[in-house]
Structure 1
Amino acid sequence: MSNLQSTVSILSLLLGMLLTALDLTIISTAVPRITHDFHSLNDVGWYGSAFFLTMCVFQTFWGKLYRYCSIKYTFVAAILSFELGTLGCAVSKNSAGFIAGRAVAGFGGAGVISGTYIILAHIVPPEKVPIFYGLNGIIFTVASVAGPLIGGAFTSNVTWRWCFYINLPLGGVAIAALLLSLQLPRSSQPAATPVLEIISKLDLPGCLAITGALICYLLALEFGGITKPWNSSQPIGLLVGWILLTLLFAVVEWFQKEEALVASRYLRNRGVLACCVFVFFLNAANYVRVYYLPLYFQAINNASPERSGILLLAYIVPTSVFTMLAGGILSKVGYYQPFLLVGAALVTIGSGLIYTWDLNTSSAKIIGYQILAGVGDGICVQVPVTAVQAFVDQKDLATVTTLVLFFQLGSGVIGIGAGESIFSNRVIQSLARDAPGTSATTVLQAGASELRGVFGAGESQGVRRAYLVGLHGAWILTLALCGAAVLVGVLAPPISILGQTGLRSAAEADPDTSTDTGSNPASHGRASGMADKEKEGVLVVPGDKAPVEVEIVGSARGS
């Protein structure tokens, strides 16, 4: 490719990534208005979870399509799927149609994200690949800031549907530019593979099992205590189905081995496992926070969607700034565990302070507590994605990145679903005390942005108190999840990631050039022992008590 073609291709890839990243948060400030239009407050969890569910489950699915099919046209198919889903959201007439559109958009978005990483690995010089991967992280950071603002502006000044219409022309530009400019090297072209063999490699049983498990989980939380008692047959049956299908998924993944959605051999490594679990807990809390803070601003403070997006900046801007600062500092100091501990501790404290908000909390506390949580989040949120690369070989970076994305996006399904269930159940329970005689169904269908318009002055005050009780329940969940992240951070291997590519630790370096091994004979002996183990086929993880056997697989570059 010429320099112009390469530039246009990269910009088109980044545009597709930006559109997908925006869809993660753009509806957060629009949700209260959407719930009003569809009379569907109890569906809030689905609006976020449907997108996260399909994006999580189908990451590896798309990765395998890229391995066996034309990378260029597979990526175009992913963008088209994303565009189809966003169009469905834009024209939806009811909550069910909107949720279906979100699910289809998430399916396509999974292909856009994985495809961007794979194509960059083919068209960018190897020494510059980490730079562009880092740029993808910055795009997600920018999107997290811009999403709520754009969503709030559209919702207040035009309609929330433009949160989705805007994707159509921009996605079309990305597709046209890629078709005209992208030329991949011949080495990237897959060998001809029979269709049935491709299908057998996609781990469709695993996809179906985990999708069914997560749907059962979400339905159980939607019904339990809201439309059906928790001790009735439907919630219990769905919870049992969730457990059984999760166990089935684990069994399927065990037997799929190389073709599994979740490569279990990596999770036997303490460093990889710690990074994945930390990302899960922290991001589950973050997604709940981002979705329910606008509900507080609009239902309790009577803010417009646009105003709630501005208020949310107090959380998102510090997160974005400190994400970039932490990345720069980590590249200098190398030790990632302090970032996990300090960041998770600060966001835990911030979550606890947000829990103290009431009907009349001052603007200073609303802004200040969000800043504290945002600073903590920024310090640690991207660190595991970088740190995990120290525990795998260079050629496995794409695979382990997909694994971290699986946990990160899966946390959105679990976190938002649990948050919605807690919120709705506590609102219903509180109405009997704070607004006796008020129909719980009417409250749940009214929508957060229109409480004062639906209920009279006296009644709306009681409904607002019930809302606050529900929000406190969701925020207790974020506090518990952040606390769990602190504990996981304590268990992470306390090593430096500087100079490590894969399980090639500093201990493997030439003793003449390695400060640690060259200056200490004991360290040098330990390094030699580690090297001997690797010759025997056992890869050693620094910080682990025993060597961990890991089977290396091909990355996206070689697929």
Structure 2
Amino acid sequence: MAKENEPKYLSGLPLFACLASVTLVAFLMLLDTSIVATAIPRITTDFHSLDDVGWYGTGYLLSNCALQPLTGKIYTYFSNKWTFITFFTVFELGSALCGAAQSSNMLIIGRAVAGLGASGLFNGAFTILHASVPSHKQPALLGVLLAFSQLGMLCGPLVGGALTQHVSWRWCFYINLPCAAVAVPLLLFIEIPDHDHTKANNDSVWKLLQRLDLQGFVLFSGFSIQLLMALNWGGSTYAWSSSVIIGLFCGSGVTLLIFVVWEYYRGSEAMIPLSLISRRIIWASCLNYGFFSGCAFTSTYYMPIYFQAIRDATPTMSGVDVLPSIISNMLIGVLCGVLIGRVGYYLPFGVLSGILTTVGSALLTTLTPSSTTGIWVGYQIIQGAGRGFGFQIPITAVQNNTPKEQVSVATAIVTFFMNFGGAVFLSLEETLFTTELRKLLAQYAPTADMEAVVAAGASAFREVVPDDLLPAVLIAYCKAITRCLILSTALGGAALLFAFGMGWVNIKQKKKEAKEEEELERKNEEENETEMGA
């Protein structure tokens, strides 16, 4: 009887195929994140849409984070395999829409669709691996997943720059489609285990929808959309004091209040259980990840603009120029995982991440049009190292300080804060960039055609600026970028502050205690079965 109740795990070729497919999907997600950054200057030139730069990232992150808290419950009540394939199909549909976009608005819609699909992919990859192998094998497979998927961050700028320069920026999105033809068939022919889905099978459709807390999802989506629209439009499309912006802020606040009351009413079945989010380690990890993500996305989106606009680099070379940050991020990230496993404590690396990220961002604010190669390479390495140390710390903190039955929900919540932080602060920085650029152009190049410079985009404004005004325009452009990096520095400092709240915990000791508890439970079950048999 004991063996009949034991979960079925994958091994051999099926396990390899499963790991390969989910790793490829995770790789494509991170590739999509970094490949777009080097294409943005050319996109803004083609669509004359410099004011929309923030929405290319925000549209993706907004839809991603709006659905993120719900994905944990979706994987709980539906098939792991088919849920994962469905999310991936939506992600690919969004990529196809972006590639075929005929306007900036269509591109933003495509990014939003891709974000909806992406919201369930990383959670899904972790869930599938968790169900596919016993607990003692999971860390090794997760290490492989994270290490190889981060190659997407490494390849993105190079591939994006090459495609943008030599083919078309559209292939930065189309490139995802042939990869899907490899990943999906691998999953289709594998019987991926589904543990603990019996409740969903026995529930009525209405009961299942109640368990998903769709009302909470609608309320939270409304709050997110209103807040992001207010932050993106404020100071650019509308004045901060306009009725539209004030209305959006008020609407988001009221919607958030209603959401909190609703989640309190839902209790343990809420989309975001208040009893969980109120724990110090959980909320500190969430806030750390939100500020950390905002800091990281700033350099991801604005450093390629610095290289193409200020240093007149081609899209390919701008991809090469950001490699110091990406390589140090990847290498330090892998090293950090090994060190945490050896030392047992994750908090020192979270603090170190905050220090390096803040210092690196502060150094990047000193960049000028004449900064030497050694300066911008060194500064990027420092910031990239900080990002590498910090990438996994909030996830590690949450998963090692949460009861097993709440781990998937807690992971979804902290991942949501990562995406939401990126969306909020990218939107703020886009508004800051365009507002400051106009002010600085009026200060340094008052005779230049300000609107023509802004409309031309980051990679083509030189064509509309007379040679005698170009140095002044470059100074204005550079200062607008570095003022966004000042905000990034503040975000790094906030991440450092909340890192101290993630707990001084020895995860090696906790794993040992968990293993002893599992052995005790197993012995009790065997004794009960023996007594029943007697």
Same fold by TM-score greater than 0.5: yes
User: Any residues of structure 2 matched to 1:83-98 within 5 Å, and which?
Assistant: 83-98=92-107
What residue number does 2:16 align with?
Answer: 7
Q: Distance in 2 between matches of 1:250 and 1:443?
A: 45
In 2: Cα distance, 1:485 partner to 1:52 partner: 19
Distance across 2 between alignment mates of 1:347 and 1:220: 28
* Aligned with 1:35 (options 23, 44, 56): 44
Matches within 5 A, 1:229-378: 229-378=239-388
SS at the partner of 1:184?
Answer: coil
Give 1:556's aligned residue: none
What letter matches 1:306 in structure 2?
A: T
The 1:317/1:64 distance shift into structure 2, 3 A limit, reads same
Letter in 2 for 1:498: K
Counterparts of residues 532-543 of structure 1 (less than 5 Å): none
Change (3 A) 1:33 1:396: same
CA distance in 2 between partners of 1:396 and 1:108 (Å): 23
- The answer to whether the 8 Å contact 2:216/2:262 transfers is yes
Q: Percent identity between the aligned chains? A: 36
CA distance in structure 2 between the aligned counterparts of 1:449 and 1:41, rounded to whole angstroms: 10
- Are 2:19 and 2:141, in contact at CA under 8 Å, matched by a contact in 1? no
List per-residue Cα deviations over 1:281-338 (Å, max 9, x = no partner).
Answer: 1111001111111111111111111111111111111111111112111112222222
Where does structure 2 lack aligned partners over 5 or more consecutive residues? 1-9, 521-534
Q: What CA deviation, in whole Å up to 9, does each residue of 1:230-257 have, x standing for no partner?
A: 2222222222223222323322322233
Which deviates the most, 162-171 or 216-225?
A: 216-225
Instruction: Give the Cα separation in 1 of the matches to 2:253 and 2:197.
Output: 40
Q: Which amino acid aligns with 1:167?
A: N
CA distance in 1, matches of 2:56, 2:491: 21
Query: 1:485 aligned to 495, 499, 505, which one?
Result: 495
The amino acid across from 1:339 in the alignment is: F
Instruction: Name the counterpart of 1:536.
Output: none
Q: Please show how residues 151-162 of structure 1 align to structure 2 within 5 Å.
A: 151-162=160-171
Q: Is the 8 A contact 2:37 2:301 kept in 1?
A: yes
Structure 2 letter corresponding to 1:392: T
**Higher alpha-carbon deviation: 254-263 or 294-303:** 254-263
How far the C-alpha of 1:107 sits from its partner, in A, is 0.7
Cross-structure match for 2:80: 71
**CA-CA distance at 1:505 after TM superposition:** 12
SS of equivalent to 1:499: helix
| CA displacement 1:49-86 (0-9 Å, x = unmatched) | 11112222212333333333333222221111111111
**Distance in structure 1 (CA, Å) of the matches to 2:263 and 2:180:** 34
**CA–CA distance in 1 between the matches of 2:330 and 2:449?**
41
Further displaced range: 497-506 or 171-180: 497-506
Structure 2: how far apart are the matches of 1:142 and 1:64? 29
* TM-superposed deviation, 1:147: 1.6
Match of 1:56 among 39, 46, 65: 65
Deviation track 1:135-187 (CA, whole Å, cap 9, x = no partner) reads: 33224422221222221121111111111111111112222221123343686
Cα distance 1:493–1:4, how it changes in 2: closer, same or farther (>3 A)?
closer
The verdict on how the C-alpha distance between 1:183 and 1:223 changes in structure 2, with shifts beyond 3 A counting, is: closer
Question: How is 1:177-188 mapped onto 2 (pairs within 5 angstroms)?
Answer: 177-184=186-193
1:197, 1:115 → 2: CA distance? Answer: 23
Give a deviation string over 1:102-132, Cα, whole Å, max 9, x none: 1111111112222222222222233212222
Cα distance change on mapping 1:438 and 1:502 into 2, 3 Å: farther
Query: How far is 1:192 from its partner?
Result: 4.0
Are 2:231 and 2:424, in contact at CA under 8 Å, matched by a contact in 1? no
- Assess, with a 3 A threshold, how the Cα gap between structure 1 residues 188 and 124 changes in structure 2: closer, same or farther: farther
TM-score, reference length from structure 2: 0.89
Instruction: State the shift of 1:339 in Å.
Output: 1.4
- Cα deviation 1:17-58 (Å, max 9, x = unaligned): 221222222101111111111111111111111111222221
Superposed, 1:162-241 pairs within 5 Å as 162-184=171-193, 190-241=200-251
**Matched residue type, 1:123:** S
- TM (norm. structure 1) is 0.86
Cα 1:66–1:326, aligned 2, differ >3 Å: closer, same or farther? closer
Q: Which residue of 2 aligns with 1:390?
A: 400
- 1:136 matches 2:145: yes
Secondary structure of the residue aligned to 2:508 is coil
1:498 counterpart SS class: helix
For residues 272 and 287 of structure 1, do their structure 2 counterparts lie closer, same or farther at Cα, with a shift above 3 Å needed? same
* 1:412-470 alpha-carbon deviations (Å, 9 max, x no partner): 11121111111111011112112224444323321101121232223333332221221
Question: Could you tell me how far apart the structure 1 residues matched to 2:369 and 2:311 are?
Answer: 8
Q: Which whole-Å CA distance do the structure 1 matches of 2:268 and 2:146 have between them? A: 28
Query: Does the alignment pair 1:109 with 2:118?
Result: yes
What is the 5 A alignment of 1:139-150?
A: 139-150=148-159
- 2:410 matched to which residue of 1? 400
Q: Output the CA distance in 2 between the equivalents of 1:13 and 1:348.
A: 33
Structure 1 residue ranges without an equivalent (≥5): 511-559
For the structure 1 residues 117 and 176, does the alpha-carbon distance in structure 2 shift closer, same or farther, using more than 3 Å as the test?
same
Provide the rounded CA distance (Å) in 1 between the counterparts of 2:332 and 2:345: 17
CA distance in 1, matches of 2:450, 2:266: 47
Q: Distance in 2 between matches of 1:213 and 1:462?
A: 41
**Structure-2 separation of matches of 1:216 and 1:38:** 25
Question: In the aligned structure 2, how far is the partner of 1:292 from the partner of 1:242?
Answer: 28
Report the CA distance shift for 1:358/1:183 in structure 2 as closer, same or farther (over 3 A).
closer
* Residues 344-353 or 236-245, more deviating: 236-245
Q: 1: distance between equivalents of 2:48 and 2:388?
A: 35
Does the Cα contact within 8 Å between 2:358 and 2:492 map onto a contact in 1? yes
Counterpart position of 1:124 = 133
